Amino acid sequence: MHQPISTRAELIDALRVAAELEHQLMAQYLFAVYSLKRYTYEGLDPVLLERVRRWSSSITLIARQEMEHLGLAMNLLSSIGGTPSFTRPNMPQKADYYGQAGIRLELTRGDLDTIKRFQRFEAPDELVADLKPGEPVDQKKALHWCEREKKKTRKVAASRAEMMERLEASRLEAAPVTSFGWSSVQELYQTIYKGFEALADEMGEQKLFVGRPSVQIFGGPGGRQPVGSMDDLNQYGVDLIGVTNLASAKQAITMILEQGEGIAAKPSYLPWTHFCLYTGIRADMEEFDRKGLAARPVVRNPMTRLYPDVEQDEVTLLTNPVTIEVAKLFNGSYELMLLMLLYLYSDNVKSQEQVNGMMDGAFFPLMTMFVRPLAEVLTEMPAFNEKPKGRLTNAGAGFELNGDVLLVPTIDATWDLFQERIDVLVAGFDALLRDGDPWIGLPHQKEDGEKKSRIWRRLEYMRSNMQRLAFDWRAHWNIGYSSQ
Amino acid sequence: MLILNFEGYFQMRMATDPDPTDERRGVSGYTFALAGEPDLDAKIHLQPDEDGVWERKFGRGGGPRVGVTVRSATRNGAAAPELAGTRIAFVDAQILEHNGILVRNDYFIIHPFRVRLLRADDETILLERVDWLNPDDPAMPENDATATMLTRRQAKKFTGNSQAVADATGLESPANVALIANRLERRRSLQELLKTTKDPVEIAALESRIEQLAIVERWWELSANVGQNRVINRRAAQLALQLDGWNVDMNGAVAVNALQAATNYPWNISFWMGGWDGDALCGYIKGTWTIPLAENVKERR
């Protein structure tokens, strides 16, 4: 257990670890879900395909909430004067990277072993306390935990206030110390929670919360959405709380713990906690997908090149040259999305039009119209140029970062530098689609009445949209009516 | 002048945010191609016999049935009852915004935009005209359109809890409580249907629909203590959401003209869409197609 936090610097450090962790979890979950079969031509019977679709919906919900947790960690960080950061190590990392927390950082397809790993990430402390490293959670105990509502074995919290009170009273005991820090995600947040309390008590809330709320991103049921016009974040299962004082800081942390492990969650919400969703998917997979057909044969930890910060013998280097180009487009889109988000969290002077444009016209579509579909098509592409040695043959998105993701220091140049990155992506799509259709010969890629493969047509759609984005960026949003 | 007042349910099997707009099965939004159903085609189907329409079962509670028809018509101010019951189609039309890349905040454009009037009881086409985003380049893709081109094709106004929608679709009320009640009633109806369904593929699809409708109730319960601003999930809210203001002077080639319309003048079409039922993948459309007749105008050369 970690020693209590007693300074602002320690709290900032802990929050940066939290942000990095949430980012890593999100990437792993997304990698797994994009490997799951989606289409009627992939050989699953319709009933199993429907189940896989439900698993995918659940995992994407969890991943969105990890994004929410990342956003909350950034808001918490910003609220006390910390510098927002999306820096994280590439994957894979050695098993003890997060010490006793046992969070193995690697990208693996959405099979049963992976789901068990994710279930353990999200497990409440009482279910992992006696487990060895890598050992899955006892499924019977997990099911029992998730069925508390029916069994009424625990006292039911009636309100958010009561939940917070219970969390405070029963879960946040003083923590002893180890060298790394935390034995679980739950403990990390509990330490942060106590740190906020201790520092607010010691220096007063006014002195602790020095960050300006206008450089946070928040929205959802709790209040006005100040960034862009995406007032429906909550409709995507995302609820970002602005952090301005001790109460809102505690509320943000409580929400993370409710959604993840289900600590102090209302019993009626338990089935929707990350831990219970993964428990349900695991039960489903064990019953209905014993042959492991649900996931495409996607390699582990696919990378376009080796990075100094990874466990190199566990990387799968992509060798198919066309696939590598698509993977680079993914990495470029992903990094640009992070840079834009960082810019939104920065204290740079920006007009409301720029903020709206960045959020609605660039950040959101980068995430949904490029990062995700590129990650999806990669899992249908060959990883290797040569005949594969094993049964895993397909590529995937490595979420590769070349180093720190840093804010562009020159405010005036920011938009031009983003323009350059968008233009590079357009050029990448152009080059990729210029000559022929390298995917037309892959199984099921030729559709009746179509000359081009399914993959080519998806990439062409992305190219057209990236060109539009570049055009609008250059023209300063030559868009149609938008009520703003 | 020929005036055609049309309305009815359309189907639109499309993915919803935050799915990408070319998603074929639906994952992270709330609309899906379920077990046994064809891929999402993202097209607006105003007639039930169009390729791509898939009408779901609703059980005893019933649900929307696709079919947009002319309810009343006038020719030069006089009633034209012979045109009542004729059918409107938007040929291959999609409702587009590309998740904010093309237009923002869901002020959709419809593209391509080719409107057709069919006889009531056969496939005879009476009128058909296209609208071009760019008359100088009719084949221009939508991603090349300027703001001016997009604006004339866009809707203009959202109205939540719309009484006009409730009146059109038969909702008891556009208030949130009524919308929630409607979705819970649909869920009950599907649960009953599930009990009598034997086909495993249909069962799988029904279970998913019931699961989606349960989310509506979960949200409603979670926001029980927040007073007037109680949050309602979009799966329910959109039942009474209206998107109004499509108003297009159709400028393109006339493909069929069996009613002696003036072909060198714009044909105006205005309408709203709303009442979206995400479980049925259907919504309501109501509007007017106003067409100058050759006998009223001197055709331009």
Same-domain pairing of A204 and A309: no
Of A56, A360, A369, the CB nearest to B20: A369
How many Å apart are CA B200 and CA B206, to the nearest integer?
A: 10
Shared domain check, A314 and A238: no
Nearest chain B CA: its distance from A381 CA (Å): 18
Whether B254 is in a domain gets the answer yes
Residue B297 has pLDDT above 90, yes or no: no
Contact A481 B26 (CB under 8 A): no
Strand blocks (E) in A286-364? 302-303, 316-317
The token pair at A298 is 């996607």
Assess whether A115 and A260 both reside in one domain.
yes
* pLDDT per residue rounded down to tens, chain A (484 residues): 568 899 999 999 999 999 999 999 999 999 999 999 999 999 999 999 999 999 999 999 999 988 989 999 999 999 999 988 899 999 999 877 887 777 889 999 999 999 999 999 988 888 988 888 889 999 999 999 998 755 554 443 334 444 444 444 333 333 333 334 677 888 899 999 999 999 999 999 999 999 988 888 876 544 444 333 444 556 666 778 889 999 999 999 988 888 776 666 667 778 888 999 999 999 999 999 989 999 999 999 999 999 998 988 899 999 999 999 999 999 999 999 999 888 888 877 677 777 777 777 777 899 999 999 999 999 999 999 988 888 899 999 999 999 888 887 777 788 888 899 999 999 999 999 998 999 999 999 998 899 999 999 999 999 999 999 999 888 865 555 455 4
Instruction: Tell whether B213 is covered by a domain.
Output: no
Residues of B in contact with A162 (CB under 8 A): none
Does one domain contain both A240 and A368?
Answer: no
- Chain B within 8 Å of A472 (Cβ-Cβ)? yes
Q: Which tokens belong to A432?
A: 């990729």
- How many angstroms away from the CA of A369 is the closest CA of chain B? 5
Report helix, strand or coil for A137. Answer: coil
**Do the Cβ atoms of A229 and B104 come within 8 Å?**
yes
The CA distance from A144 to the nearest CA of chain B, in Å, is 21
Q: Are B135 and B242 in contact (CB under 8 A)?
A: no
Find the residue in B nearest to A52 (Cα): B27
pLDDT tens-digit map of B208-241: 999 999 988 877 776 666 666 677 888 999 999 9
Provide the pLDDT for residue A167. 42
The model's pTM is: 0.92
Cβ neighbours of A373 in B, within 8 Å: 20, 22
- Confidence (pLDDT) at A408: 77
A234, A262, A296 — which closes off a domain? A296
Rounded CA gap, B45 and B58, in Å? 19
The answer on A133 and A6 residing in a single domain is: yes
The reply to whether A282 and A312 lie within a common domain is: no
A-B C-beta contacts closer than 8 Å: 136
A112 shares its domain with A145: yes
Q: Are residues A347 and A251 in the same domain?
A: no
Read out DSSP for A414-445? HHHHHHHHHHHHHHHHHHHHHS--TTTTSTT-
One domain for residues A44 and A167: yes
Residue B85 structure tokens: 């019951």
d(CA A184, CA A123): 9
* Tokens linked to A94: 């050695």
Kindly list the distances between the CA atom of residue A179 and the CA atoms of A2, A11, A191, A192, in Å, as whole numbers in the listed order.
8, 16, 15, 17
B211 interaction partners in chain A (CB closer than 8 Å) = 54
Q: For residues A117 and A237, state if they share a domain.
A: yes
Q: In terms of domains, do A303 and A282 share one?
A: no
* CB proximity under 8 Å: A 21-40 to B: 33, 38-40
Q: What is the pLDDT of residues B20-79, one digit of tens each?
A: 999 999 999 999 999 999 999 999 999 999 999 999 999 998 999 999 999 999 999 999
Number of domains observed in the structure of chain A: 2
Query: Of A296, A327, A362, which residue constitutes the final position of a domain?
Result: A296
How many Å apart are CA A275 and CA B207, to the nearest integer?
22
Q: Which of A464, A433, A71 is nearest to A237 (CA)?
A: A71
Residue in B204, B207, B221 closest to A46 by CB:
B204
Domain membership of residue B290 as a residue range: 2-159+244-296
Nearest CA-CA partner of A331 in A312, A305, A358: A305
Contact (Cβ atoms closer than 8 angstroms) between residue A372 and residue B101: no
DSSP state of A298: B
Instruction: Tell me the CATH number at A442.
Output: 1.20.1260.10
Interface contact flag, B103 A368, Cβ < 8 Å: no
CA distance to partner chain B, nearest, from residue A56 (Å)? 6
The answer to whether residue B175 scores a pLDDT higher than 60 is yes
Residues B152 and B132 sit within 8 Å (Cβ to Cβ): no
Average pLDDT of chain B is 94
Torsion of CA A113, A116, A117, A119, to 10 degrees: 160
ipTM associated with this complex = 0.94
Give me the domain span that covers residue A437. 297-484
